Structure 1
């Protein structure tokens, strides 16, 4: 499952996976899946847990966002939001901003708008060796930031990365 999680996530029964199993899977640092794919799947799972929710967040009421936020609260700390591109954040996460913890949303905005901003510990994912490796490189450059290094890393790993 860790090497080919798409097989699980694309299966018909994928949205019926128990929350505890989902959290265990997404917090594993060996999960071979981009942060945006994890977010999309977790979102799909959360919406499926609440059949009254539409897949269109523009139609959500304040209560709908509360329901989704409560459903996703155990998963959100393990999503690698800081590894997303600005475009991924804008198109896939921003429409659901009311389902995110406020501190995380504010921190992500700062992170995507200011390349020199360092995310707070509260908003950093509670995982992975990959993130720890990238974060611990201490890039000492006036030219590139840690976000640039992450982008270059995605290119090297042949992940779909956009500036």
Structure 2
């Protein structure tokens, strides 16, 4: 009987002590949001991304301009065999060039987004947020239909970016 009583007392002590410890550490429950595109554009290295996009547009625009009249002829059904072949070659060239420029853009963008993710995590922790959603993704997906202004941390993240 004494052993059972001792066991019950120890178990109660553990449960009671554990609940006190758990209560000492507040768990963040707030959900915030950030305009990720605005933060990326505010980053000090965003000009590099813009430069790559400008170069890409310079290379891709002439290909698109050549494709347009050929595409119109194809849709109308009056393209010659040569024009059809030219269209396929140009379309493939455009696709390959687009893929190349997407890879280059992503390579420049990756370190920026990784740094921004770290800043968002730090700001979120400091302000007691458990989750931070991308404002545009949450809205366009229908995941969030309303969010109070005070839950947006975009400006705080921009202020926290390295200069």
- TM-score of the aligned structures, taking structure 1 as reference length: 0.30
- TM-score of the aligned structures, taking structure 2 as reference length: 0.30
Structure whose residues are more often strand by fraction = 2
Structure with higher RCO (Cα < 8 A, 6+ apart) = 2
Larger-gyration structure (1/2)? 2
Structure whose residues are more often helix by fraction = 2
